[in-house]
Structure 1
Amino acid sequence: MTETMTWAPTEITAADGPLLDQLTERLDDLLLSNGAVVFRGFRITPAALGGVLDRILRNRLAYVHGNSPRSHVGDRVYTSTEYPAEQTISMHNELSYSARWPSRLAFYCETTPGSGGATPVVPGVAWLAALSPELRTAFAGGVRYTQNLHDGHGFGKSWQETFEASGRAEVERHLEAMDGTTWEWKRDGGLRIAQIRPATVTHPVTGAEVWFNQADQWHHAALGDETAAALAAIMPEEDLPQHVTFADGSPIDPAYVLEIRDRGLATAVDVDWQAGDLLVIDNVLVAHGRRPYAGPRRVLVAMSD
């Protein structure tokens, strides 16, 4: 993969030939060599989207164990996120906090943003290189994520919504298949999950070591001083919907959290949207986020293993 300052997603336009040829002949190689591909000018319609996704996501996945608010809009197709438009969503790899994550993501722009609303993307090797040696050393032992999911009434997401399940047995089967995961059902019907995960992973094909965790998104310091203080006033850290420490349980310095967040966003390249555009990324090689926007914006996402 190229150096940070010269890297950008590969862009394929309608002038390069029929969309079908680009999807079947070039996509796999381009994702391994560059990590992200943008298709522009093919005027992919919502009606045609399912057929396109069937070609590029060979085993489309449900958004099970996801922590972002989103709606199910089709056959394993979701809104990319439903966080408020004025918020920046920091860089992350989908489900990197879990023992199971998708290998490929596809983002489709159905409605052009009024203004802003780009999807920033960054190679994980570039994000890792942008972090200080002190921080990388501190995270060498990995991180511990704690997730508290309520039983339908409470703060954050319910376990039913998170696992797209209605019964405990189905959730337990999913958790049992995830190495490094422990859980307990709480007296109020909620579910507490703890997972120990590495801070970096190695891509199974390219061998690249990439920054691959969501410590900054799970840490209260990234919420801002006022929000963090308000949460601390109503519940202990271990009862927050999401909480993260180092793997040994010791606290993560808030300065590290802000460095991870800010350097990821600063290193990223923005993908601006027009209706009909399609962005496909290797979810291990490349992280993504969202810039704030105003006016309409509708971007959908699907994922595969």
Structure 2
Amino acid sequence: MTEEQIWTPLEIEAELAGGTEELTDRLKDLGDELGSLLAQEKALVFRGFGVTPGRLDAVLDLLLPNRLAYVHGNSPRTKVGSNVYTSTEYPQEFTISMHNEMSYAHAWPARLAFYCQIQPGGGGATPVVDSELWLNSLDAEIREAFAGGVRYVQNLHDGYGLGKSWQDTFETDKRHDVESFLDGTGATWEWKADGSIRVESVRPSTTKHPLTGTEGWFNQADQWHPAGLGDDTAAALSQILPEDELPQNVTFADGSPIPAEYVVQIRDRGLDNAVDVDWRTGDLLLIDNVLLAHGRRPFTGDRRVLVAMSD
């Protein structure tokens, strides 16, 4: 975090012994004002309300008016409830770099809610970074290079291979469902002889918030580029598959390669400017997915954080 970075999420703590009922009452009182409060504060942390898995749906119904399925998501997750998922199944010893959820897609969730079912033994914070700050922290050369947008490439296997299958990605085993979904996204795709599908999408690198008008960094180039994985992992992948056949990859919109040094700067400056949200069992974090990017710090022991999203 830089010296100029003074923003932190708004923490809302329990005042009574009412637990989850107190939280739902306060959210009902907020009503439609919750949206404007979130746009103003960017993130809200709810602590001390003792939310249990059995009461989670009641709270999420108020935080997320229209819960979305994780269709076309690229991160490994398990569905555990009504459009509620594990936040990630990425190995616990690794950092997950900053990203706005599904910024590579034609449509993305406006809000994300994270729920801590089991607090980590150590570490495991969810870092969040102001997307406008992240954009402005990048060298002018990089901002200019990305002005034309980026091209995302997915190679989704048919059940066996690296990365996610197209069945897991689109939550269906029917090809026509996949095609119907992709028809409205501006993507191009091709089914391969081995049953896999290749999907290409050109998206902008920044976006403006619909209420505040602020422009922020809004793409996942550093997560989709081999250089974002680190030298060892990238080298290992290059021994297995050519770059064009990786489960996911990214270039500039015209197909030209993105320099590795750009990717490293994007990844590192996002993390350097992030604010960590630490977890205790029962906590909830609500974030505006355009105003803030999020990630995950490494952790020890157990950690179970669930996520849901809405438009």
Name the residue aligned to 1:289: 295
Structure 2 residue runs of 5 or longer lacking an equivalent are none
For the 8 Å contact 2:24–2:58, the answer to whether it is kept is no
- Deviation per CA, 1:70-124, whole angstroms, max 9, x where unpaired? 1111111000000000010000011000101111100000001000000000110
Query: In the aligned structure 2, how far is the partner of 1:237 from the partner of 1:254?
Result: 13
What is the aligned counterpart of 1:52 among 31, 48, 59? 59
Query: In the aligned structure 1, how far is the partner of 2:209 from the partner of 2:150?
Result: 19
Query: In the aligned structure 2, how far is the partner of 1:70 from the partner of 1:304?
Result: 17
Query: In the aligned structure 2, how far is the partner of 1:224 from the partner of 1:128?
Result: 22
Question: Which amino acid in structure 2 is aligned with residue 130 of structure 1?
Answer: S
1:74 aligns to 2:78 (yes or no): no
Query: In the aligned structure 2, how far is the partner of 1:41 from the partner of 1:80?
Result: 21
Question: Which amino acid in structure 1 is aligned with residue 23 of structure 2?
Answer: L
Query: In the aligned structure 2, how far is the partner of 1:260 from the partner of 1:132?
Result: 9
Query: In the aligned structure 1, how far is the partner of 2:156 from the partner of 2:112?
Result: 25
Name the residue aligned to 1:166: 173
Query: In the aligned structure 1, how far is the partner of 2:241 from the partner of 2:90?
Result: 23
Name the residue aligned to 1:259: 265
Query: In the aligned structure 2, how far is the partner of 1:291 from the partner of 1:227?
Result: 18
Question: Which amino acid in structure 2 is aligned with residue 226 of structure 1?
Answer: D
For the 8 Å contact 1:4–1:126, the answer to whether it is kept is no
Question: Which amino acid in structure 1 is aligned with residue 11 of structure 2?
Answer: E
How far the C-alpha of 1:222 sits from its partner, in A, is: 1.2
- Provide the identity percentage: 65
What is the aligned counterpart of 1:214 among 215, 220, 223? 220
How far the C-alpha of 1:197 sits from its partner, in A, is: 0.5
Name the residue aligned to 1:7: 7
Name the residue aligned to 1:242: 248
For the 8 Å contact 1:10–1:30, the answer to whether it is kept is no
> How many residues are paired up?
302
List structure 1 segments (4+ residues) > 6 angstroms apart after TM superposition. none
Query: In the aligned structure 2, how far is the partner of 1:15 from the partner of 1:265?
Result: 33
Name the residue aligned to 2:105: 98
Name the residue aligned to 1:225: 231
What is the aligned counterpart of 1:275 among 256, 274, 281? 281
How far the C-alpha of 1:22 sits from its partner, in A, is: 3.2
Query: In the aligned structure 2, how far is the partner of 1:80 from the partner of 1:4?
Result: 30
Name the residue aligned to 1:20: 24
What is the aligned counterpart of 1:189 among 171, 191, 195? 195
- State the TM-score, normalized to the length of structure 2: 0.95
For the 8 Å contact 1:199–1:211, the answer to whether it is kept is yes
Query: In the aligned structure 1, how far is the partner of 2:37 from the partner of 2:260?
Result: 37
Question: Which amino acid in structure 1 is aligned with residue 149 of structure 2?
Answer: G
For the 8 Å contact 2:9–2:41, the answer to whether it is kept is yes
What is the aligned counterpart of 2:45 among 27, 38, 51? 38
Question: Which amino acid in structure 2 is aligned with residue 284 of structure 1?
Answer: V
For the 8 Å contact 1:4–1:267, the answer to whether it is kept is no
- State the TM-score, normalized to the length of structure 1: 0.97
Query: In the aligned structure 2, how far is the partner of 1:23 from the partner of 1:291?
Result: 29
Bigger mean CA deviation after superposition, 84-93 or 30-39: 30-39
Query: In the aligned structure 2, how far is the partner of 1:12 from the partner of 1:106?
Result: 14
